[in-house]
Amino acid sequence: MEGAKREEGGPGMESEGKAAAWTMRRHHEFLREEVHGFPGFTHRGIPSPSGYNAPEQVHITQGDQVGRAVIVSWVTPSEPGSGHVKYWKDSGDGSEPGHKKMYDTKYIYEIGDGDTARRFSFTTPPPVGPDAAYTFGIIGDLGQTSDSNQTLEHYHSNTKGQAVLFVGDLSYADDHPLHDNNRWDTWGRFVEKSVAYQPWIWTAGNHEIDFLPEMGESVPFKPFLHRYHTPYKASKSTFPLWYSIKRASAHIIVLSSYSAFGKYTPQYQWLEEEFPRVNRSETPWLIVLLHSPMYNSYDYHFMEGEAMRVMFEPWFVQNKVDLVFSGHVHAYERSHRFSNVAYRVSNGQCTPAYDKSGPVYITIGDGGNVEGIANRFTEPQPSYSAYREASFGHAMLEIKNRTHAYYTWHRNQDSEPVVGDTQWFYNRHWYPHEEP
Ligand SMILES: [Fe+2]
């Protein structure tokens, strides 16, 4: 984004208003009433904004490969509205002609018209570079219950978070009769207080599939794909569910557990070509997001991520992925650094073993959704599992420089400053030794 004080739909700002209008609701009154039946959490506190056809469910995500563009999306409830985004720098009088470096800059943006215009802000990240410090929040399987609300409130109260890595399962609309799409709307209003102000990086989970052929809906992922956009083309992907971004000192690869990933498939081919594009001198931190965990020692969804593990774990180890974040299991687990890539049909070597080139796997599907907590474990705790706890919460990853990142997990029953689990991570490219 470059330019004068105020621009309309200028370069770098992709306006998604018209696309968002696809999800327009024609029965506004009904939309407002729908919120009453929520299990455990009423959304009466988050009504549609006042004014006819006011934009709602505003959310932003990264819009390009390096963090200088933003995708702004919203829904207008009664009819398609203006697709324009006005935005300007939030810096004094804004009189900085020719200002070129638009990283690390706070912008104000406005959508809607006249008395229904709504105004928000975001801050662009620092330029991509090896020592660019940046703090990500990590949230998964959020849903929209009182527990979800606690998770979001805790994250929101932590002023360190600059962007969210969301590991899938957003609204849980499909847990309601006929995949009640009003739940997508209520969820959009629920998370707006965070995602209208900082980008959430989207991963698709099983609750995004929304496959309902008996109702004539045979195209998977339709509500998610129409409501939540990703900058997939910028990373040479051919489909929105797998892509990558660079942000500060991190290269983040997003995969789809529920799209084909076998050899020769588009996702496989893309990932095979993506790893060589990762430049650890530019982005030391290599992070993978996917929904169904490859390692999970809970008695829920056990081994569901195994097929993808078999396909992709060797690449994770060869490319020294630092961290793999997953959701799906509604609890928390962090692994040691290890791998299980020695196995061949003839050698029987199928035991996970310490591997300093292996990622740390973190399951963080503990956002607090309508399906409840996962509180049964497989016993004994496998040696690769470092910490597991059946509590709702979220995590923070504070990247300090090219070698060090400080990671914390915050459970909901504690106040936000309390840390439930913590770890210093040492970068696998710049500190490829055994960690202290
Ligand atoms: Fe899931």
Query: What's the CA-to-centroid distance between 316 and ligand 1, angstroms?
Result: 22
Pairing of strands 285-289, 70-75: unpaired
Query: What's the CA-to-centroid distance between 401 and ligand 1, angstroms?
Result: 32
Per residue in 214-232, pLDDT (tens digit) is 999 999 999 999 999 999 9
Task: Report which of residues 11 and 347 the model is more confident about.
Answer: 347
Query: What's the CA-to-centroid distance between 170 and ligand 1, angstroms?
Result: 9
Query: What's the CA-to-centroid distance between 45 and ligand 1, angstroms?
Result: 27
Tell me: pLDDT of 16 over 60: no
CA 127 vs CA 219, 232, 398: distances in Å:
38, 20, 17
Q: Span 286-300, mean pLDDT? A: 98
User: In this structure, are residues 172 and 143 in contact, taking their beta carbons and an 8 Å threshold?
Assistant: yes
Query: What's the CA-to-centroid distance between 207 and ligand 1, angstroms?
Result: 6
Closest-CA residue to 55 (of 170, 149, 192): 192
The structure's pTM equals 0.90
In the chain, DSSP finds a helix count (H) and a strand count (E) of 7, 21
Give, for 192, the enclosing helix (H) or strand (E): helix 182-195
Tell me: pLDDT of 22 over 90: no
Per residue in 366-404, pLDDT (tens digit) is 999 999 999 999 999 999 999 999 999 999 999 999 999
Query: What's the CA-to-centroid distance between 205 and ligand 1, angstroms?
Result: 5
Question: What pLDDT is stored for residue 35 in this prediction?
Answer: 39
Query: What's the CA-to-centroid distance between 270 and ligand 1, angstroms?
Result: 23
Q: Give the residue numbers annotated as catalytic, written as ranges.
A: 301
